[in-house]
Amino acid sequence: MELDGRKKVILKTIIQNYLETGEPVGSRTISKCSDLKLSSATIRNEMSDLEEMGYILQPHTSSGRIPSDKGYRLYVDELIREKDQEVADIKELMIQKTDRLEHVLKHVVKVLASNTNYATMITGPTYHQNRLKFIQLSKVSEKQLLAVIVTEGNLMKNQFLEIDEPIDDDQLLKLNLLLNTQLNGLTIGEINLDMIRNMKLQAGIHSSVVGSVVDAVADAIQPDEEDRPVFTSGATNIFKYPELSDSATASELINALEEKKELVEILKGSGLEADDSPGTGIQVYIGNESPNAKLKDCSMVTASYDLGGGLKGTIGILGPKRMDYENVVDNLKMLKVQLDKIFGDEKNKTVQDVSITIDAITQPTPEEEE
């Protein structure tokens, strides 16, 4: 059997109708609202075919049809192909310039959640290859040093170091010089034991400090994948969709949103695969296509964002299978544009804002616009 034009139109109508109502849709409904002037009987025949082909299914004999995962998939693919052509028309999102990326991210999920009425999530960016840029040891008290480590993306980390014996200003200066000359511009992978031994040798009595600093560096430069920041919003939106709001399903979904670790896993995966479908970077998972079994009754749309400077993260939207894909995809595209607007223009500034969990940095040039 072949999926001719008419079948496609009917399928599309069925899906759109189902997206709105959430109820199985019958032949008569289609016959009325579709542009095709066909009687319900004809539609029935077509629907019968569509069912045979696996695009729609019947919850029970003699109820209307609902789209199958395969049906959704066809619809979404088609939809996204169309969307690719259009230039997304950007309604202005109310993202204000805030002083920390963390805030922006929180804001983004919130806006997105209230815009779409689905649950949303976003992961903070990661750096591919983080290089050391600057190290500074300062003496805070007799036996305590403060190490400040700055990496290329201006990710910062502070750490106190206890020292056994006092160190004078001159020695500290030398130590700083040593650390900076030796380690500057390196990634964690490039620091080897040889170098460390070498440095320890040169540092003399303060070799233990070098060890501590290197440890701190390792930490700063390779931030825990484990507690990569994830923000979620609109979890309660799930309750707006009856098919998801029974106690068991809702519990499972909200649990999934709560388990940040799993969430990161899912979103990370999405980000990678996004390379497949070029152009948009938007991925749609329908039902069982999802990497996580918990989400088998939902759909999830993810998009990876890129703030330049190697900063990449992922946004996700979680909703029922009968999600308004069109709106969601639009929103995500719009969001990308917005983020670019905010962060894209000045590379330096962008990167500056980005020390997420690790540090609080305020906008260097405070252009107020509240």
Partner DNA sequence: TGTTAGCACTCATTAGATTGGAGTGCTAAT
Partner DNA sequence: ATTAGCACTCCAATCTAATGAGTGCTAACA
- Judged by beta carbon, residue 195 or residue 250, the one nearer a copy of itself is 250
Question: Running DSSP on this structure, what letter comes out for residue 236?
Answer: G
39 lies in the binding site for DNA (CB under 7 A):
yes
DSSP 169-235: HHHHHHHHHHHHHHHTT-BGGG--HHHHHHHHHHHGGGHHHHHHHHHHHHHHHS--STT--EEEE-G
Binding at 288: pick from a copy of itself, DNA, none (beta carbon under 5-8 Å per type): none
38 lies in the binding site for DNA (CB under 7 A):
yes
Per DSSP, the three-state class of 271 is helix
Q: List, in order, residues 6 or more apart from 213 with CB less than 8 Å away.
A: 135, 137, 147, 149, 161, 179
Binding at 117: pick from DNA, a copy of itself, none (beta carbon under 5-8 Å per type): none
The three-state (H, E, C) secondary structure of 149-183, written as one string: EEECCCCEEEEEEECCCCCCHHHHHHHHHHHHHHH
- Judged by beta carbon, residue 254 or residue 337, the one nearer a copy of itself is 254
Q: Which of 22, 40, 202, 340 binds DNA (CB under 7 A)?
A: 40
| Interface with a copy of itself in residues 122-141 (CB under 8 A) | 133-134, 136, 138, 140
Tokens of 284: 């749609």
Give the separation between CA 250 and CA 195, rounded to whole angstroms. Answer: 54
Binding at 47: pick from a copy of itself, DNA, none (beta carbon under 5-8 Å per type): DNA
- Judged by beta carbon, residue 42 or residue 202, the one nearer DNA is 42
Q: Which of 1, 35, 37, 246 binds DNA (CB under 7 A)?
A: 37
148 lies in the binding site for a copy of itself (CB under 8 A):
yes
Q: List, in order, residues 6 or more apart from 34 with CB less than 8 Å away.
A: 9, 10, 13, 43
Q: Which of 2, 5, 35, 62 binds DNA (CB under 7 A)?
A: 62
Binding at 357: pick from a copy of itself, DNA, none (beta carbon under 5-8 Å per type): a copy of itself
CA atoms within 13 A on the CB side of 261: 2
Contact residues for DNA, defined by CB under 7 A: 23-29, 37-42, 44-45, 47-48, 51, 58-65
Contact residues for a copy of itself, defined by CB under 8 A: 103, 133-134, 136, 138, 140, 144, 146, 148, 150, 154, 156-162, 215-216, 219-220, 227, 232-233, 235-236, 239, 245-248, 250-252, 254-255, 258, 352, 355, 357-362, 364-365
